[in-house]
Amino acid sequence: TGVVPIAVAYGDGIGPEITESVLRVLDHADAPLSYDVIEVGRSAYERGITSGIPDEAWDAIRRNRVFLKGPITTPQGGGYKSLNVTIRKALSLFANVRPTTSYAPYVASPHPDMDLVIIRENEEDLYAGIEHRQTQEVHQILKLITRPGSERIVRYAFEYARAYGRTNVTCMTKDNIQKQTDGLFHEVFREVAREYPDIESDHQIIDIGAARVAAQPEAFDVIVTPNLYGDILSDIAAQIAGSVGLAGSANVGAQVAMFEAVHGSAPDIAGRGIANPSGLLVAATQMLVHIGASEVAQTIRNAWLRTLEDGIHPADIYREGVSKQKVGSEGFTNAVI
Amino acid sequence: TGVVPIAVAYGDGIGPEITESVLRVLDHADAPLSYDVIEVGRSAYERGITSGIPDEAWDAIRRNRVFLKGPITTPQGGGYKSLNVTIRKALSLFANVRPTTSYAPYVASPHPDMDLVIIRENEEDLYAGIEHRQTQEVHQILKLITRPGSERIVRYAFEYARAYGRTNVTCMTKDNIQKQTDGLFHEVFREVAREYPDIESDHQIIDIGAARVAAQPEAFDVIVTPNLYGDILSDIAAQIAGSVGLAGSANVGAQVAMFEAVHGSAPDIAGRGIANPSGLLVAATQMLVHIGASEVAQTIRNAWLRTLEDGIHPADIYREGVSKQKVGSEGFTNAVI
Ligand SMILES: CC(C)[C@H](C(=O)O)[C@@H](O)C(=O)O
Ligand SMILES: CC(C)[C@H](C(=O)O)[C@@H](O)C(=O)O
């Protein structure tokens, strides 16, 4: 297989440090990639590009169809739309795939056996961005659930389960209250589930469902859910597995796929060389699988697991008694290499 | 103090069993109460009362101003509004107060030191019930956040912290995305916090906030949050503390206060005599404090804690090695008595 060109954005906050780390690992592993580095986020805003993403960057993403994205920050204030959400919507990246595995005993976790995947609808729900002030004192936002949007993500979840040999898909909604919106999502889930008799399926109300994920994540396999519940559930799952700093995600559309860490740009620790590059590194391995370079993905994953196993840990996962050596971004990257 | 008349609804599913248990304990402790038993839920629906609550029941609740409610079930289907939500809204029970404490080592929990209170806004948000089908395929629901509603609940949270000697209030919203709605809630939080310089305050985005509650609940004291986040957070907190079956809640308004378990009517185990009455019993102790009968509340709480400590556990909290005797609703109630 030849070299695959991808778009890369270093991002903001800890973005540049961790992206640098990840590219060093990819290069060292001879990943069959070439990089089209694009400007997205802070520096674009500072140049007066109010969307945070210049036309050339859009072109590069659409042309390359694969995009590795460091965490980015949208300026505060009502005038700016979240850049992450803008990208997901503009490219119709409808599926946000967030696997979470425990790395215990090498990373402290009360749930050594958890291994679940959250498949989060990525365009609709309260992320539709339709918000208004009815009066100074009464503000409203529209939550949107559509049949085609629900069908696409639910089908994706069942296909994913089949492809990866998983046996159960759980749907979570709040359809005891949101009968027409979440009710539609649940109804579509029931319909689609019938087409996959080889995969078990069930439904849980999001309140008790999230509680069970928090208390007994081992009981779950694949979870499919509307956007905002997926946002909350994936942070919960990642955190109890060890740290949200270890989780990567794929944002998949029909044309383009974008890979990013689940965590944000962590401006409070930016520039101090202590950020954990693992989230973006895991996302990069998802990306390698996506382009068909599974062997390189496996090599990198093994090296990374070995580093965790050796107890060479950045501050966010460092625990007395479990970890052996506290390292910064560079020390961690060197160990993986 | 004289006898306080209260409205009591036995509810549906496991409701009658656990309400029976709780009334037995209250009577045995000579709680200064008289009961005005009202019909709410299933039997009302079956008599053709489409709201699920007859006029006499409304009158009794409004007259007594204190209401102990067993879990109820709203019939499935688009035609019925949740009865729980109807009651909260009709009586303007704006604050849903959900304390969660760990009972470890007597009840197994990975978080022996957790002791937090979730103060959940109880009328607005996606519970406003404004939902419609734009087309067969596009469904929408309005989320509502108002300044007076936000101010009232945030102020309640700070007053609660002061009254109960708690030192920190954390606000959780998703205002990086929902800038006008959740943004308003957060803005009001910042304003009100300034009036309480004796109480520390901070804000977390709900995704990582929920993740921290799940992973490190010991770090939280009082949490104030919009309705739906509070719904999810309180199930998470209760479940990791031991079981959602142990959590009670107060729904407080200016005129009326309603006390109920956090869990639902559990139709799957109804009538089998195995339900754990603890959630409603804890709610009843919150009610006794509310009417000024703190001593009786303490007596009942101590007897209940002693029963947990003795390892006399219903099935939902029974754990080999921690529990000593598995009991049904009646056995548990006898032990408390
Ligand atoms: C940064 C924010 C817009 C984003 C989201 O809410 O989706 C983040 O929390 C995530 O989970 O990727
Ligand atoms: C039954 C349901 C309407 C209710 C809610 O969503 O508020 C329940 O989950 C609760 O937490 O009291």
Question: Length of chain B, please?
Answer: 337
Choose the mutation target among B179, B190, B216 for the interface with A, i.e. most A CBs under 10 Å. B179
Ligand 2 geometric centre to CA of B84 (Å): 7
Partner B, chain A 43-82, Cβ-Cβ below 8 Å: 74, 78, 82
Quickly name the fold that domain B110-241 has: Isopropylmalate Dehydrogenase (3.40.718)
Note the CATH architecture for domain B1-97+244-337. Answer: 3-Layer(aba) Sandwich (3.40)
Work out which ligand 1 atom sits closest to the CA atom of A249: 12
Instruction: Give the whole-angstrom CA distance, residue A211 versus residue A233.
Output: 10
For residue A60, the model assigns a pLDDT of 98
Instruction: Give the whole-angstrom CA distance, residue B194 versus residue B201.
Output: 9
For residue A187, the model assigns a pLDDT of 98
For residue B1, the model assigns a pLDDT of 57
Residues of A in contact with B138 (CB under 8 A): 144, 146-147
Assigned CATH class of A1-96+244-337: alpha beta
Residues of chain A with pLDDT under 70: 1, 78
> What burial letters (b/e) apply to B276-296, b meaning 16+ CB within 10 Å?
bbbbbbbbbbbbbebbebeeb
- pTM higher than the cut 0.85: yes
The secondary structure element, H or E, covering residue A201 is strand A200-205
CB of B179 shorter than 6 A to ligand 1: no
**Cα–Cα–Cα angle for A21, A23, A28, rounded to 5 degrees:** 100
Instruction: Give the whole-angstrom CA distance, residue A89 versus residue A83.
Output: 10
For residue A129, the model assigns a pLDDT of 85
Could you report the per-residue pLDDT of B177-231, keeping only the tens digit for each? 999 999 999 999 999 999 999 999 999 999 999 999 999 999 999 999 999 999 9
Q: Is A183's Cβ below 8 Å from some Cβ in B?
A: yes
Instruction: Give the whole-angstrom CA distance, residue A51 versus residue A42.
Output: 10
Instruction: Give the whole-angstrom CA distance, residue B266 versus residue B324.
Output: 25
| Structural tokens at position A252 | 């998949």
CB of A279 shorter than 6 A to ligand 1: no
Among chain A residues, the shortest Cα distance to B73 is held by: A176
Instruction: Tell me the mean pLDDT in the region B135-158.
Output: 97
Could you report the per-residue pLDDT of B231-278, keeping only the tens digit for each? 999 999 999 999 999 999 999 999 999 999 999 999 999 999 999 999
What are the extents of the domains in chain B?
A: 1-97+244-337, 110-241
Which listed ligand is nearest to B211 at the C-alpha?
A: 1
- Note whether B15 and B8 are within 8 A (CB): no
For residue A74, the model assigns a pLDDT of 87
Instruction: Give the whole-angstrom CA distance, residue A182 versus residue A164.
Output: 27
Q: Which of B175, B207, B229 to mutate to test the pocket of ligand 1 (most atoms within 8 A of CB)?
A: B207
User: Average model confidence (pLDDT) for chain B?
Assistant: 96
Place B81 in a pLDDT band, splitting at 50, 70 and 90.
Answer: confident
Instruction: Tell me the mean pLDDT in the region B298-311.
Output: 97
